[in-house]
A and B are shown apart, each in its own frame.
Chain A
Amino acid sequence: MSDLKISNLHKHYGGFHAVKGIDLDVPSGEFTVLVGPSGCGKSTLLRCIAGLEETSQGTIEIGGRDVTYARPRDRDIAMVFQNYALYPYLSVKENIAFGLRARKFAEAEIEKRVSRAAEMLAIGHLLQRFPRELSGGQRQRVAIGRAIVRDAILYLFDEPLSNLDAQLRDDMRVEIKRLHNELGRTMIYVTHDQIEAMTLADRIVLLRDGLIEQQGAPLDLFERPKTRFVAGFLGSPKMNFVDATATRTGVKLADGTTLDLPGQKGLKAGAAVVLGLRPQFITVAGKTVAKGHARVPAVIELLQPTGSRVQATLPLGGASIVAELAAHDVSKPGEKIHIDLDLTRAVVMDPQSGQVI
């Protein structure tokens, strides 16, 4: 059963077409992440689902019920906002209880639910405080608490962690993942942080200019992007793109290097293509060349250590590429090494349409 079903949704802001016909089906219990560059319409889509924006065209069903024209409060949803949206004049406890009171829950039930939510989020000791007396992370917990005390069908999150510092963000990410596992509710989460998207999502929906570019499991999108946009958007450091010419069995780079791409059929020999190689799928040459890998020589131009890994910038086929290598495998710029490219995971794209071939 699906908890959310969107058909052909459009949204116009005056003359501006922000959402251009989206179809989406979210099964019960799934954690769906909406990602995309700034301004692509993620928030707009989420706000349409919440009923905070009027839709221009299309339908929205939540829990099997058509709610296209329903008020936000009649949609059976809960939402966590980017800036916490806590009421400064209410205590933490009353903030969490706000939705229950608005829905006329019995006092005993409110008491029970608030303390359970507080316990889950480890904010039991803060209940009597006011929002101004809390840290950013604590505020965000309260905001999440306010959503989870309710039995909503759908839980919406609009960039809930973007106001937190990096460390706290990692912690809260784990927390949200745990909550999802414990509660088993359907959640829709907007972010433009692709690490959040990759780690949290059961399914990623990648938006671009008001349309869905691709959706699927995180690894699916990561390894089998359908377009150059998807390939470039997901993954950090970004995928390397190298201009090349197609041959019968692979590609030929600008400097004449030919690479055989296993499993690539349908390449039109002589056509201009773009080869996409993830930095993670490049390694320093070992004893043997693994099947489907190609070994090429390279001179390190630049090194950016990130801890156990190091990002090395190298020339390849007339372009500069980035490889993510083990830190102890390389020492300094100028070093001459050999690298192995995992061509089984390389993608080839049409330079004009951006479609993966």
Chain B
Amino acid sequence: MSGLPLHRRAGFRLSFRYLLAALLVIVFCFPVYWLFIISFKTPDEIFAFPPVWYPASLQFGNYWVLFKDGDAGTVWNSLVLASVSTFFAMILGTVAAYSLVRFKTGGENLAVWIISQRMMPPVAIVFPLFLLYVYFGWVDTYFGLIILYTAFSLPYVIWMMRGYIEDIPLELEESALIDGCSRWEVLWKVVLPMARSGLFATAVFTFIFAWNDFLFALVLTRTEVTTYTVQVTHYFGGQSNFWAKIAAMSVLGTIPVFITVAIMQRYLVRGISMGAVKG
């Protein structure tokens, strides 16, 4: 092709890739940057025209207001709901997946039925659920949302954990049975440690699903267990949005997920690819 020596061409290629990569990073990260930066702006900076691209100094006033009004407590609600439901979904789901894999409980049919639950659109069940919850008095309670999130995550957990559990050699479990473990102890002492990385990866995604939920929380909470996603929308108002609050609340609600993802990163990539491969 061109008369350039090979290493020069490789050099151009690499520079080109870096250029594209940088461009992509700017496009994909700029909105996050903007959200972040608004949360630290003063009202004057927010409503300046033309927009202020970076604030003169970082103002924590917007966050201070959220804590003072107690709005920040909704992040705590989200945290409780997401972690507790993840905990239960992981336990129930892993145990069920183990049964499906090892004992072929219910055969293919049960497995297919469970995965089909994953496709259920929330909007199809949210209304009858609302009536059910009103009947039982579960609306606006931790308990109600926790069992809802747990149930809603179960198909995903079962599906993912099935793949990981299939990879555990049967001999390890049999050896433990002979060595003196009960069935439950085998689960606890062999299956869980063997499926550790899968458990982490699955747990992170389960947590994020619950964390991100909006529709269920919108319908099934009032004031007590309002999640942060619902709280963010409370600041929307026709033409005059509470911009500072939207931004600060969003950042508050994003930080826990960032931290989780950062800590769990090495499990995640495996989790995504595994989950995708095993479907």
Contact = CB atoms under 8 A, between A and B. Distances in A.
Instruction: Tell me if chains A and B make direct contact, with any CB pair below 8 A.
Output: yes
A52 B174 contact: yes
A73 B186 CA distance: 11
A69 interface: no
A102 B179 contact: yes
A30 B45 CA distance: 89
A103 interface: yes
A89 B171 CA distance: 15
A89 B196 contact: yes
B197 to A, nearest CB: 11
A87 B178 contact: no
A99 interface: yes
Given A81-B171, A85-B169, A72 B178 contact: yes
Contact of B174 (A78, A81, A99, A150): A81
A98 interface: yes
Most buried by A among B172, B182, B185, B194: B172
Interface residues of B, number: 18
A52 B102 CA distance: 13
B256 interface: no
Interface string A60-104: 000000000001110101110111110111000000001100110
A81 B178 CA distance: 11
B176 interface: yes
A73 B182 contact: yes
Nearest to B190: A87
Contacts of A52: 174, 177-178
Contact of A71 (B177, B194, B196): B177
Secondary structure at the B interface, as helix, strand, loop or mixed, is helix
Interface residues of A, number: 24
Interface in B119-141: none
A43 to B, nearest CB: 11
B172 A87 contact: yes
Given A89-B193, A89-B196, A102-B185, A83 B178 contact: no
A72 B190 contact: no
Interface in A89-132: 89, 98-99, 102-103
B64 to A, nearest CB: 46
Nearest to A80: B175
Nearest to B179: A99
Interface in B143-193: 169, 171-172, 174-182, 185, 189-190, 193
Interface string A306-330: 0000000000000000000000000
A99 B185 CA distance: 12
A50 interface: yes
B180 A81 contact: no
B176 A102 contact: yes
Nearest to A149: B179
A102 B181 contact: yes
A146 B172 contact: no
**Chain B CB within 10 Å — which of A73, A77, A81, A88 has the most?**
A73
Contacts of B171: 81-85
Interface string A37-70: 0000000000000111000000000000000000
Contacts of A72: 174, 177-178
Given A72-B177, A102-B179, A150-B179, 8 more contacts: A82-B171, A87-B190, A87-B193, A87-B194, A99-B180, A102-B180, A102-B181, A146-B179
8 contacts: A71-B177, A73-B177, A73-B178, A83-B171, A85-B175, A89-B194, A89-B196, A102-B185
Q: State the 10 A-B residue pairs at the shortest beta-carbon distance, nearest first.
A: A99-B179, A102-B180, A85-B171, A85-B175, A103-B180, A72-B177, A81-B171, A73-B180, A72-B178, A89-B193
